Amino acid sequence: MGIRTGVHLILHFAVPGLVAGAAFRKDFWRSWVAMTAVMVVDLDHLMADPVFDPDRCSIGFHPLHTVAAIGAYGLLALLPASRLLRWMGLGLLIHMGLDGVDCLFQGG
């Protein structure tokens, strides 16, 4: 695993932690777990060949990393009825944002 990949994985846990600490301090652990649990979205990588390619941009390539899916995650983050679903939507948006930033460093 390269340095970029390691930093990318750490950020998938650290950024939700920062958001949970800043915005949901009272519910830090529950919000952080909800925002990081959505990393299961990366199971769509199993449909790719090869499964892992550090130089492949996930956004727009994997089915759960498409613009339509990201739009649905945005709607999920706005649902007023459930804190859990909002946290999950926010976690998915954070995940996609980090994957998008990683796309900027492809091949580097």
What ranges do the domains of the chain cover?
A: 3-104
Q: What is the reported pLDDT for 17?
A: 98
Distances (CA, A) of 47 to 42, 43, 53, 61, 73: 10, 8, 12, 10, 21
What is each CA distance from 68 to 45, 72, 74, 75, in whole angstroms?
A: 17, 6, 10, 11
pTM value surpassing 0.85? yes
pLDDT score at 106? 81
Q: Is the pLDDT of residue 1 over 70?
A: no
Distances (CA, A) of 41 to 28, 65, 80: 22, 8, 22
Cα distance between residue 55 and residue 99, in whole Å: 12
Split at pLDDT 50, 70, 90, the class of 107 is: low
Q: What does the pLDDT read at residue 35?
A: 98
pLDDT for 33-51, tens place per residue?
999 999 999 999 999 999 9
49-105 pLDDT tens trace: 999 888 899 999 999 999 999 999 999 999 988 999 999 999 999 999 999 999 998
